Amino acid sequence: MESARNKFTREIVEAEELWQLPSVDRNGYECGSCGMDVYPASYQKNNLKRPYFSLFHFTDHRDGCDVEGNKKTVAKGRKGSVRDELETSPGLSPSRLTLRDERVAVDPTLPVSSTQTSSTRSVRSDAHEEKARPVGRRAANTIRPICRAYLNFPYDRSMSLDVPGIDGKTYLSAFKKLGAGNKGIEQFARAQIFYAELAWPKAHEDEESLLIPLSAGEWSQERKLVRPYSVRVCWSQWSKYKKTVVRNEMEVVREEGIKAKKKNPKDRAYVFFIGEQDESDPTVFNVSDHRLICGLLGTLIFVS
Ligand SMILES: [Zn+2]
């Protein structure tokens, strides 16, 4: 499972967020749909595999759990519209991005229960209310579930999407593939969720930033990428935990892309981000928030 609910904060946590935690509570999570206990796996910071949540041995999801149904919806969604399912599933196709208040950074000296999320929201007092099945599409706390929905549901990109600062209010209009149409390096006047294939070389890091090379930009006649776009993650003010999330995800998606070459050549490693095009160098996009960048493996389908 890609996400689970934190038992203490009642927040839905994406597995990648585990990289951000100073310590991970193996007994702190439950299925976001049915409430069955699940455990976090593959979250070690030096483990180059994407984290996930899994049921404990000899247990199963409770009756009425959405997890299996959601898998079927994702499979169906690659072949045609699954709009009705998406309208009534909370997590498959988020309706908006809402960044949580992160006034206090994760502090390893805090008690465990309060360090389990990147934010310091208090425990909800109305936790019992969510026993009722949530209806409708929920908000995402990072762009990752939104980008996953963009890849997963090519026939449903007319679904509404509200991302602060972005004019396009559907999936289709909010996203922009860099290098599409072979126009060389373009100047983008408005903010969008930009994405491109990750280039093969590793990202370069120093104190100030992480520079991620993209496989998009200006190509020569000989089909060589002569001026590539890149993403500069400006992280000089970040905690080491936030840096870990972005560094690990970029490295993991790179590995996933290399492996996919043999297994499923249509799958590609994509970097998605919301960033500002650099004023002096239009090949560079500056990203300043770890929740506004992610790396996902997937097959990109365009529907005309
Ligand atoms: Zn479940």
User: Does residue 208 share a domain with residue 127?
Assistant: no
CA–centroid distance, 18 to ligand 1, in Å, is 19
CA–centroid distance, 152 to ligand 1, in Å, is 21
pLDDT, one tens digit per residue, over 155-193 is 999 999 999 999 999 999 999 999 988 889 999 999 999
In a domain, residue 100? The reply is: yes
User: Does residue 206 share a domain with residue 283?
Assistant: yes
User: Does residue 176 share a domain with residue 250?
Assistant: yes
CA–centroid distance, 114 to ligand 1, in Å, is 24
**Contact partners, residue 94, CB within 8 Å, separation at least 6:** 137, 138, 139, 140, 145, 146, 149, 161
Three-class SS of residue 292? helix
Rounded alpha-carbon distances, angstroms, from residue 144 to 62, 109, 169: 27, 28, 17
Look at residue 134 in the predicted model and tell me its pLDDT.
54
- How are beta strands 37-41 and 96-97 bridged, if at all? unpaired
In a domain, residue 224? The reply is: yes
CA–centroid distance, 140 to ligand 1, in Å, is 19
Q: What is the dihedral of CA 301, 32, 294, 149, to 10 degrees?
A: 20
Three-class SS of residue 142? coil
Q: Model confidence at 8, in pLDDT bands (50, 70, 90)? A: very high
CA–centroid distance, 28 to ligand 1, in Å, is 15
* The overall pTM is greater than 0.85: yes
Task: Go through 219-244 and write b for each residue having 16 or more CB atoms within 10 A of its CB, e for each that does not.
Answer: eeeeeebeebbbbbbebeebbebbbb
Q: Model confidence at 44, in pLDDT bands (50, 70, 90)? A: confident
Instruction: Compute how many other C-beta atoms are within 10 angstroms of the C-beta atom of residue 127.
Output: 12
Look at residue 109 in the predicted model and tell me its pLDDT.
45
In a domain, residue 159? The reply is: no
pLDDT(45) > 90: no
pLDDT(120) > 90: no
Look at residue 123 in the predicted model and tell me its pLDDT.
46
CA–centroid distance, 252 to ligand 1, in Å, is 26
> In this structure, are residues 42 and 52 in contact, taking their beta carbons and an 8 Å threshold?
yes
Torsion-angle region of 142 (φ positive above 0: left; ψ -120 to 50: alpha; else: beta): beta
CA–centroid distance, 101 to ligand 1, in Å, is 28
Where is average pLDDT lowest: 128-142, 201-215, 280-294? 128-142
Structural domain including 141 reads 3-145
CA–centroid distance, 299 to ligand 1, in Å, is 27
pLDDT(127) > 50: no
In a domain, residue 156? The reply is: no
In a domain, residue 162? The reply is: no
CA–centroid distance, 62 to ligand 1, in Å, is 6
Structure tokens at 12: 């839905």
Tally of domains within the chain:
2
User: Does residue 242 share a domain with residue 202?
Assistant: yes
In a domain, residue 154? The reply is: no
User: Does residue 219 share a domain with residue 140?
Assistant: no
Q: What is the CATH number of the domain that holds 184?
A: 2.40.50
Q: Model confidence at 121, in pLDDT bands (50, 70, 90)? A: very low
3-state secondary structure 66-123: CHHHHHHHHHHHCCCCCHHHHHHCCCCCCCEECCCCCCCCCCCCCCHHHHCCCCCCCC
Ion ligand 1 neighbours, Cβ < 5 Å? 31, 33-34, 36, 61, 65, 67
User: Does residue 8 share a domain with residue 131?
Assistant: yes
CA–centroid distance, 5 to ligand 1, in Å, is 10
CA–centroid distance, 211 to ligand 1, in Å, is 38
pLDDT(224) > 90: yes
Structure tokens at 259: 């492996």
> In this structure, are residues 10 and 34 in contact, taking their beta carbons and an 8 Å threshold?
no
CA–centroid distance, 295 to ligand 1, in Å, is 26
CA–centroid distance, 109 to ligand 1, in Å, is 32
Domain boundary among 111, 145, 179: 145
CA–centroid distance, 35 to ligand 1, in Å, is 6
Instruction: Compute how many other C-beta atoms are within 10 angstroms of the C-beta atom of residue 130.
Output: 13
CA–centroid distance, 163 to ligand 1, in Å, is 29
CA–centroid distance, 64 to ligand 1, in Å, is 8
